[in-house]
C-alpha cells in the first residue's frame, strides 16, 4: 500500500503576554507519514512539535523540545501575513521501515539551514554596498560575512547564518548614521536559508544520494524502490525532503502534480485575515454619544488603551494657549534655558505654498530656578506661514519636554551659532530653506527679544 | 486670558476626534497592519527616521516591510491648525510619544506627529492622515 508524503504549511499564531515578543504568524513545514510519525518527528526542526493526527502545530520556537536535530529538515520560517495551504504528493512506497539513526556526515558542521537570519536596512537602496557594510562592521562587535547582499524595493538586505552574529547586528540598529547625520535602522529576523545556499546544498545532497538512488532505480519498471533507498546507511531522515524534490522532477515514482515549495517561494498573495479581526468594520465610523460611553467603548474595543492616558479636556484648556499675547506670557514664565544647538535635529515634514510644518528635537539646560543645571529633552513642533518674503510667522506651536536620556546629557553645550541639522527636506524650495535657517537662528534668541 | 467658548468647543471637538483616531491608528499599526494605509490620504507623506515615503503604494510597501510592532503611547497632544492655514478642512496637529518594539529588535522611545484632516462624507466625518513624521528618540 502507498504512503502519503504530505507537506504541510501551517499557520501559527502565537498569543503572548505583553512582556513577550509578539509573533504575528509563523509558518513551519511538517512532513507527515501515515505510519511513521515517530521518525518524522525526529526529522523535524527542533523548534517544532508535531501532533499525531496532523493538526496545526503549536510549537514554541524558544522551547527546547528535546527533539533530535535534523540538519536538513526544512527550517522554521518567520513570515508576516497568514496563510494556510496544504500540499499533498504521492510517492511509490515500500514498507514502514524506519530510517537510519545515524546522521550524515557533513563538511560544514556549524552551517545549517536552521540558523539563518535576514538583515534588512530600510531605505538602504540609498547607500553603496561597500560603504554600508563597512559602516555596519565598524559598529558591530563581531566580524560578519554578508550572504547574498541585494537591494529589494527600497531596502538593502543580506543574510547571516549565525545567531550570535545576528544578535550583534541587531545591536547596531540605530547607532549608525549616514553622511547627512540621519540614523540608519537595521532589522534582523530569522529566515530560511537564502536561495543560493539552498541550491548549493541541494546539489551537494543530490550528488550524495545520486548513487544509492541510481542503484535502486529499476529502469525497466521505471520505479524506484523507496524502501531500499531509505535503508541505505548513508541516509538521514532530513534527506527525505530532497528525495521528494527529485522524485517529482524525474521519471521515478508515480507522482501527481508536484506542488512542493520551499518556504522562500510562498506566494504572498495567499493571505487570510488573522482570526478575530473584523475586516469589514470601518473604525472611523464608530461614534460615541457621550463621554462615559466613549471611554468604556474604546477600552472594550482596544484593551491596550489602558496604557494610553486620555487627556482631560479641562487640562487641555489649561495647557493650550491661544493668541500671541497669552502664548508669549506663558513662554516668559518658563524657566530660563540654554539650548544645545549641536543636539538639534530638524524635520521639515510637510509644506505647501502657504504653510510649513517642521519639528525641532534636542536638549536644553535649565539655567535658573529649582531645577538649575537639569538637562531636558524637548521636541517643538511648529506650523508657520510666510509673513513676508523672508520671514515666518508661527501659527501653531507645540512643545513637549521630557527627561533627557543620560547619554544625551554628555553632549557639550558648545556652539552659540546654531546649525540647522535637517533630517529631511523633501522638495523644499530655496525660500523655505532660507526661512527655516533664519528661524533656527531666531529661536536661539531669548524670549524677551522676540517680543520686540 | 481664557479662550472664547466657541473656540474652546471647537478645540474640544477637534481634539476628541483626533484622539480617537490616534488610538485606532496604533491598534491598526500593531494588529491590522495591512489596513493601515486606509488611514492615510492618497497623497499623504511619511517621514520615518528621516526617510521620506509618499503615496499609497510606497506607504503600503513600507508598512509591509516594517516588522510587526508593539506600541505603547505615553503622551498624546493635539491642537487644531490655525484656520488661516487650512481654510476648507479642519486640520489637527497631533503629537504622540512613547515606546515601540519592532519584532526582532530592541525597544525604542519614539516621537511621532500627524496632521489629520477631516473629510466630510454624506454620513460621517472621516479623518485621514495628511502627514506623518516618526522618529526614534534614543
Nearest CA in chain A to B97: A400
> Is residue A342 very low, low, confident or very high in pLDDT (cuts 50, 70, 90)?
confident
Distance in angstroms (rounded) separating the CA atoms of residues B129 and A268: 27
Q: Write down the ipTM of this complex.
A: 0.87
> Is residue A283 very low, low, confident or very high in pLDDT (cuts 50, 70, 90)?
very low
- Its CATH class, for the domain covering B5-136, is alpha beta
Lowest mean pLDDT among A99-108, A349-358, B71-80: A99-108
**Residue A126, all three cell numbers:** 540609498
**Residue A87, all three cell numbers:** 500540499
Q: How many angstroms away from the CA of B64 is the closest CA of chain A?
A: 8
* DSSP string covering B114-130: EEEEEEE-SS-EEEEEE
Residues of chain A found within 8 Å of residue B16, distances taken between Cβ atoms: 294, 313
Q: Cα angle at A310 between B46 and A316, to 5 degrees?
A: 90
- pLDDT of B64 strictly over 90: yes
Q: Does residue B95 contact residue B9 with C-beta atoms inside 8 Å? A: no
Q: Cα angle at A233 between A228 and A238, to 5 degrees?
A: 85
Share of chain B above pLDDT 90, in %: 51
A window 270-309, beta carbon within 8 A of B = 271, 274, 277, 279, 283-288, 294, 298, 302, 304-305, 307-309
Sequence-distant (6+) residues with CB within 8 A of A348 are A356, A357, A358, A422, A424, A425, A426, A428, A432, A436
CB contact under 8 A, B104 and A187: yes
pLDDT of amino acid A418: 42
- Asked if A314 is an interface residue toward chain B (Cβ–Cβ < 8 A), one would say no
- Asked if A333 is an interface residue toward chain B (Cβ–Cβ < 8 A), one would say no
Q: Does residue A26 contact residue A76 with C-beta atoms inside 8 Å? A: yes
Nearest CA in chain A to B72: A307
**Residue A68, all three cell numbers:** 533530535
What residue spans define the domains of chain B? Answer: 5-136
Interface A:B, Cβ pairs < 8 A: 201
Distance in angstroms (rounded) separating the CA atoms of residues B3 and B101: 39
Q: How many angstroms away from the CA of A301 is the closest CA of chain B?
A: 10
Nearest-10 Cα torsion for B135, B14, B130, B103: 40
Tell me the β-bridge partners of A251.
none
Helix H or strand E segment including A357:
strand A356-366
Residues of chain A found within 8 Å of residue B95, distances taken between Cβ atoms: 379, 381, 398, 400
Per the model's pLDDT, the better-predicted residue between A118 and A274 turns out to be A118
pLDDT of amino acid A252: 31
Tell me the β-bridge partners of A339.
A364
Helix H or strand E segment including A435:
helix A430-442
Helix H or strand E segment including B26:
helix B5-31
Model confidence pLDDT, tens digit, residues A41-99: 333 333 333 333 333 333 333 333 333 333 333 333 333 333 333 333 333 334 334 44
Give the mean pLDDT of A297-316.
41
pLDDT of amino acid A164: 87
pLDDT of amino acid B71: 96
- Reduced to 3 states (helix: H, G, I; strand: E, B; else coil), residue A404 is coil
Q: How many angstroms away from the CA of B73 is the closest CA of chain A?
A: 6
CB contact under 8 A, B111 and A23: no
- pLDDT of A328 strictly over 60: yes
The residue ranges of DSSP E strands in A112-235, in sequence order, are: 116-121, 147-152, 155-160, 176-177, 183-184, 187-191, 217-218, 223-224
Whether this model's pTM surpasses 0.80: no
3-state secondary structure A73-107: CCCCEECCCECCEEEEEEECCCCCCCCCCCCCCCC
Best mutation target, A185, A188, A312, to test chain B (most B CBs within 10 A): A185
- pLDDT of A396 strictly over 60: yes
Distance in angstroms (rounded) separating the CA atoms of residues A287 and B13: 13
Select from B7, B51, B86 the Cβ nearest to the Cβ of A122. B51
- pLDDT of B104 strictly over 60: yes
| Among B98, B74, B50, B21, CA closest to A347 | B50
**Residue B131, all three cell numbers:** 502627514
- Reduced to 3 states (helix: H, G, I; strand: E, B; else coil), residue B132 is strand
Give the mean pLDDT of B33-47.
94
CA atoms within 13 A of residue A73's CA, in its CB half-sphere: 27
- Asked if A313 is an interface residue toward chain B (Cβ–Cβ < 8 A), one would say yes
Nearest-10 Cα torsion for A276, A278, A279, A285: -150
- Asked if A21 is an interface residue toward chain B (Cβ–Cβ < 8 A), one would say yes
pLDDT of amino acid B32: 95
Distance in angstroms (rounded) separating the CA atoms of residues B109 and A414: 26
Select from A182, A308, A379 the Cβ nearest to the Cβ of B50. A182
Amino acid at each position: 500500500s502507498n504512503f502519503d508524503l504530505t507537506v504541510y504549511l501551517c499557520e501559527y499564531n502565537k498569543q503572548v503576554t505583553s512582556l513577550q515578543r509578539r509573533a504575528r504568524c509563523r509558518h513551519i513545514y511538517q512532513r507527515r507519514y501515515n505510519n511513521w510519525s515517530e521518525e518524522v518527528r525526529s526529522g523535524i526542526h527542533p523548534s517544532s512539535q508535531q501532533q499525531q493526527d496532523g493538526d496545526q502545530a503549536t510549537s514554541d520556537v524558544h522551547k527546547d523540545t528535546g527533539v533530535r536535530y535534523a540538519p536538513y529538515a526544512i527550517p522554521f520560517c518567520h513570515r508576516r501575513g497568514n496563510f494556510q495551504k496544504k500540499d499533498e504528493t504521492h510517492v511509490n512506497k515500500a514498507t514502514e521501515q524506519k530510517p537510519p539513526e545515524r546522521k550524515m556526515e557533513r563538511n560544514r558542521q556549524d552551517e545549517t539551514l536552521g540558523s539563518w537570519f535576514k538583515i534588512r536596512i530600510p531605505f538602504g537602496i540609498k547607500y553603496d554596498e561597500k560603504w554600508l557594510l563597512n559602516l555596519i562592521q565598524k559598529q558591530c562587535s563581531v566580524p560578519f560575512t554578508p550572504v547574498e547582499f541585494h537591494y529589494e524595493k527600497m531596502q538593502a538586505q543580506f543574510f547571516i547564518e549565525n545567531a550570535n552574529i545576528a544578535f550583534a547586528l541587531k545591536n547596531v540598529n540605530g547607532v549608525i548614521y549616514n553622511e547627512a547625520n540621519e540614523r540608519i535602522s537595521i532589522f534582523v529576523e530569522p529566515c530560511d536559508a537564502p536561495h543560493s545556499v539552498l541550491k548549493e546544498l541541494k546539489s551537494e545532497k543530490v550528488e550524495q544520494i545520486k548513487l544509492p538512488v541510481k542503484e535502486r532505480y529499476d529502469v525497466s519498471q521505471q520505479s524506484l524502490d523507496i524502501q531500499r533507498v531509505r535503508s541505505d546507511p548513508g541516509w538521514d531522515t532530513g534527506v527525505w525532503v530532497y528525495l521528494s524534490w527529485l522524485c517529482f522532477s524525474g521519471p521515478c515514482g508515480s507522482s501527481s502534480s508536484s506542488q512542493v515549495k520551499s518556504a522562500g517561494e510562498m506566494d504572498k498573495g495567499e493571505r487570510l485575515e488573522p482570526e478575530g479581526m473584523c475586516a469589514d468594520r470601518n473604525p472611523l465610523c464608530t461614534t460615541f454619544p457621550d463621554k462615559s460611553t466613549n471611554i468604556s467603548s474604546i477600552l472594550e474595543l482596544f484593551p491596550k488603551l489602558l496604557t494610553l492616558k486620555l487627556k482631560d479636556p479641562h487640562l487641555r484648556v489649561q495647557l493650550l494657549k491661544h493668541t500671541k499675547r497669552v502664548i508669549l506670557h506663558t513662554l516668559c514664565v518658563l524657566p530660563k534655558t540654554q539650548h544645545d544647538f549641536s543636539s538639534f535635529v530638524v524635520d521639515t515634514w510637510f509644506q505647501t505654498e502657504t504653510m510649513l510644518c517642521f519639528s525641532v528635537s534636542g536638549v536644553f539646560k535649565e539655567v535658573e530656578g529649582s531645577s538649575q543645571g537639569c538637562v531636558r529633552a524637548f521636541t517643538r513642533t511648529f506650523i508657520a506661514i510666510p509673513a513676508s518674503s523672508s520671514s515666518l510667522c508661527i501659527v501653531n506651536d507645540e512643545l513637549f519636554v521630557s527627561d533627557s536620556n543620560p547619554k544625551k546629557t554628555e553632549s557639550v553645550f558648545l556652539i552659540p551659532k546654531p546649525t540647522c541639522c535637517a533630517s529631511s527636506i523633501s522638495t523644499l524650495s530655496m525660500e523655505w530653506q532660507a526661512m527655516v535657517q533664519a528661524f533656527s537662528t531666531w529661536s536661539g534668541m531669548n524670549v524677551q527679544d522676540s517680543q520686540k | 486670558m481664557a479662550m472664547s467658548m466657541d473656540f474652546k468647543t471647537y478645540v474640544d471637538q477637534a481634539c476628541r476626534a483626533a484622539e480617537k483616531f490616534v488610538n485606532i491608528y496604533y491598534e491598526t499599526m500593531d494588529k491590522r497592519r495591512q489596513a493601515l494605509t486606509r488611514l492615510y490620504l492618497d497623497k499623504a507623506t511619511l517621514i520615518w527616521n528621516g526617510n521620506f515615503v509618499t503615496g499609497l503604494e510606497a506607504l503600503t510597501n513600507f508598512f509591509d516591510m516594517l516588522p510587526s510592532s508593539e506600541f505603547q503611547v505615553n503622551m498624546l497632544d493635539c491642537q487644531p491648525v490655525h484656520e488661516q492655514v487650512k481654510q476648507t478642512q479642519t486640520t489637527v496637529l497631533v503629537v504622540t510619544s512613547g515606546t515601540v518594539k519592532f519584532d526582532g529588535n530592541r525597544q525604542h522611545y519614539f516621537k511621532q506627529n500627524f496632521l489629520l484632516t477631516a473629510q466630510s462624507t454624506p454620513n460621517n466625518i472621516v479623518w485621514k492622515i495628511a502627514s506623518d513624521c516618526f522618529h526614534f528618540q534614543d
